[in-house]
Amino acid sequence: MKASIIIPSYNAGERLYLNLKALNCQSYDGDDVEAVVIDNGSSDNTMEMLEHFRLKYPMKVIRIDKNRGIAYGRNEGILNSKGEILIFHDSDMIASKDFIKQHLDAHKKPGKVVCGLFWKRIFTYYYKNFTAYQVSNFERIRHRLGLNRLSLYWDGYPLIKEEWIENEELLPYSFDLDFGFINDLKEIINKFGREFNEYYLPWRFCITNNLSVERQKVIDVGMFDNNIVRYGYEDYDLGVRLYKSGCKFIMADHILSLHQEHPANYRSDDLIVNINYMCDKYNSIYFIDVPLVCISDNLRLDSAEINGIVKDIYQLIINTEYHDILQLFLDVLQVIRKKLFSPLEDNGKEVFLKIAGRLDYYVKKILKIEIEKKEGVNYFIKGLSTLFKHAFNVDLESLLKVNRLERGGKYE
């Protein structure tokens, strides 16, 4: 089997139907592709719909009686798949006609993680539980659908026609998700290109509603983490491990799939729970990039600064002599994380006292790194100074400046 399309679904029967309808319109006609649909504890008509749907490809349906999170659902799909390539495609996606073909074409060389376009959105149904942001977006494109205002009492009102999928006429009704992190990712693509040359955080593009990777690679790194049951981050978590294992990420934004808007299915504290979990899980100098990205917005570091810091970390980590400074960076980073997201857990006093007792040593060691690393690790040192300011209100930059002058160096 060449490929398995992994489709987890939870109470999304009407949107899953449109997803499968689009798969029936695919240009790829081989018999070596299967769809693995995981009903993740749904209480709607999902199973009834699946019993009557006829897909052009072999389809396996896995029913999980209780929803244990999307990571668990995807893992069940992986374990029951046979394809060499896994194409992750959520239930609320509508694929373009060449979706499968283009994903498979991108895997002519092994070891790739292919990131399809994931920020295009479309309204296929109107739900009364839309957020204010979703309603605002709907009002922006309502005229394209030729609709008057909808009653607030209508729920699940269909907005598109099935023949629009068959004739691939949906794009004019779509729009880009307009969030800060999406705009940030677009800028990264513009700067580093679609193969992410000299970009050290491509796992940020691991969004598993439109992504493909070799099945064995996913299994080798342990698949999805079933402990991540809150909304989001299970795809980042997999992406981190795939990248660290040597996989090459590419941005394939010509592979189009539209995300169907639906009521939010997350809780207000999901972000906090996931950040704390990720930072605890990756509390190692070999994974400093993970907690750094998790709290970068709070540190007001832009994508260029973060990438520069991580590039410097990769320079330093190959020499064990610098590991104590990397550990210092990580320890201070974790102090900030706990202050932001677990204020009752630890106020950082113990870490501060430990660092204060060795501050002179750390300053001299940083200055030694400056001298020995001729290619420069300025992003890392400036980043560490930023962390000291946030964590302890200590001006490390001034301490470094004084010590540079004492040794006759020039402060820049």
Mean pLDDT of 182-187: 94
The band of 412, judged by pLDDT with boundaries at 50, 70 and 90, is very low
Q: Name every residue whose Cβ is closer than 8 Å to that of residue 357 and which is 6 or more positions away in sequence.
A: none
Amino acid 407: pLDDT: 67
Judge whether residue 54 has pLDDT over 90: yes
Residues 229 and 337 in one domain: no
Domain range for 218: 3-124+154-266
Express each pLDDT in 145-172 by its tens digit: 887 766 655 788 899 999 999 999 999 9
Residues 200 and 344 in one domain: no
Q: Name every residue whose Cβ is closer than 8 Å to that of residue 81 and which is 6 or more positions away in sequence.
A: 1, 4, 6, 34, 36, 60, 215
Express each pLDDT in 358-372 by its tens digit: 999 999 999 888 877
Number of domains in the chain: 2
Residues 218 and 315 in one domain: no
Residues 236 and 300 in one domain: no
Express each pLDDT in 59-108 by its tens digit: 999 999 999 999 999 999 999 999 999 999 999 999 999 999 999 999 99
Express each pLDDT in 308-319 by its tens digit: 999 999 999 999
Residues 222 and 299 in one domain: no
Q: Of the candidates 352, 374, 362, which has an alpha carbon nearest to the alpha carbon of residue 403?
A: 362
Mean pLDDT of 222-251: 96
Amino acid 411: pLDDT: 42
- Residue 141 in domain: no
Vertex 212: Cα angle to 130 and 8 (nearest 5): 45
Mean pLDDT of 31-58: 96
Residues 188 and 258 in one domain: yes
Global pTM reads 0.93
Judge whether residue 179 has pLDDT over 90: no
Q: Of the candidates 170, 77, 78, 67, which has an alpha carbon nearest to the alpha carbon of residue 120?
A: 170
Q: Of the candidates 218, 217, 203, 329, which has an alpha carbon nearest to the alpha carbon of residue 278?
A: 203
Judge whether residue 389 has pLDDT over 50: yes
Q: What are phi and psi of 56, to 5 degrees?
A: -70, -20
Quickly count: other Cβ atoms within 10 Å of residue 129's Cβ: 9
Residues 252 and 291 in one domain: no
Tokens of 402: 């004084």
Return the CATH number at 240. Answer: 3.90.550.10
